[in-house]
Chains A and B, each alone.
Chain A
Amino acid sequence: MKRVDGECTLTVNGVDHEVNGLHPGESLLDALRERCGLRGSKGACEEGECGSCTVLVDGEAVCSCLTLAASATGCSIVTVEGIGGSSRSDLQEAFLRAGAVQCGFCTPGLIVAAEALLRRAPEPSVDDVREGLAGNLCRCTGYGRIVQAVLETSEERRNGR
């Protein structure tokens, strides 16, 4: 049985981060931002409503604010920094083209959630996209351009571009 006593390894975007001094109940979000130095994932509601902290844990999109950091040891964690690597992914480019980014606070969570959606359902309908992104709040865009960016990326990928 694994036992974590405030110290563990978090595997984020393929890199092992040794974290120590985890406080009781510390979320993966706090550990990512403040211990691993990965500040792409954002914290806002801390109750799973806004989705701005969305990351992939073993391929599943989850709210990192609701994931106990210690419980994620041994899992493969992907944050927005790992979606495109050193350049921007096709989805991120589509967000920029469509004007789906305004203040930008929700964008990292949306990129991760949309990427998870496209992996799960490569040809989503408009309703699929809206339902798939229902857990990500954006107060700027009204969502239209975000939905458009996801649909365009889906089409691009199908056309092999």
Chain B
Amino acid sequence: MSSTVGSSRRRLGNVPVLIPESLEELRDASSAPEVVFLGGGTDLMVAVNHRSQRIESDSTVISLARVPELRSWSHDPVSGELSIGGGVTWAQLERAPFVELAPALAQAARTVGSPQIRSAGTIAGNIATASPAGDGLPVLLALDACVELVGPSGDRTLPLGELLIGPKRTALEPDEVISAVRFVCRTGWQGYAKIGTRNAMVISVAGVAVVLDGERRLARIALGSVGPTVLLAREASERLTEGFDWKDWFCEEAIIAEVGELAAAEARPIDDHRSTADYRRHGVRVLTTRLVRRGMART
């Protein structure tokens, strides 16, 4: 069936859409001028539908959905390193094997949007969009994740903290794509929790990731939605690292409270339409202490 009925929102001009089917094809495609990368579309298409981003007539859209290298993941049981392709979706991340390999990431995945959003939205999209509220980002920051980038002028790797430079701003070049994110899987305990106005489909008002690495005896606390980027709560992490009894897997209530205060003090929240700075800071304190208690109980 061929239809000649035009869309009510037809605009003049045609923008080619390239659908590369390998990393090599993607590299070739990315050398076109004015490329627009399309991952799951859950951010880009919202902006296009609401006219906050126009796809200019001299641009080229590159769909990343059918590059197998971006859709795959690998785990090296010897080094413990997990490499997750940029096109891996939240729907994949909330299930096996990620529930075992990176439980906090799986928890964060389950809080992203709705099942429909999780089927489409990808981990690379979360990073490239660089919203301070991106649910995967505090977890990846707490896991010291590195991001692998590919582009026509070469490949490079950056720590996530260096890639995220501001609200919705990254160090990505316009022709670079996030091919993978990788980190070492931790033993011990890890968790992610967030506050929002609903139990689902919510952009977080505050989010906290806690990683208790039993092998390295290292605690990491990272915060979301309470600063221009996601933040590593360095002082709180250090206090918990030294205050946590790693041998008996225990933490004094007074230290937990102190860690919560430190994390709240390290938050840099603002008042906006979603919440107030005061409530966000309070949220960080509550979520941090709650997560450390859960970690202690390994629940």
Contacts and interface: CB of A to CB of B under 8 A. Distances in A.
A71 B17 contact: yes
A66 B50 CA distance: 11
A24 B11 contact: yes
Interface residues of A, number: 51
A66 B18 contact: no
**Interface-central residue, A18, A54, A135, by most chain B CB under 10 Å:** A135
A62 B201 CA distance: 14
A134 interface: yes
B115 A117 contact: yes
Interface stretch (B116-124, B163-171, B230-238, B261-269): B116-124
Chain A residues touching B, majority SS:
mixed
Given A24-B57, A48-B46, A71-B63, A6 B14 contact: yes
B224 interface: no
A68 B41 contact: yes
A26 interface: yes
A19 B14 CA distance: 14
Contact of A27 (B6, B25, B40, B45): B45
Interface stretch (A33-41, A79-87, A100-108, A151-159): A33-41
Contact of B61 (A37, A62, A70, A74): A70
A132 B113 CA distance: 11
Contacts of B59: 24
B5 interface: yes
A60 interface: yes
A37 B114 contact: no
B99 interface: no
B19 interface: yes
B17 to A, nearest CB: 4
Contacts of B57: 24
Nearest to B29: A1
Contacts of B79: none
B296 to A, nearest CB: 27
Given A24-B14, A135-B113, A135-B115, 11 more contacts: A1-B25, A2-B21, A3-B16, A3-B18, A17-B2, A20-B2, A46-B49, A60-B91, A66-B49, A66-B117, A136-B114
15 contacts: A1-B28, A2-B66, A5-B17, A23-B13, A24-B14, A25-B55, A34-B3, A34-B8, A35-B7, A47-B50, A48-B42, A61-B116, A71-B38, A71-B41, A113-B115
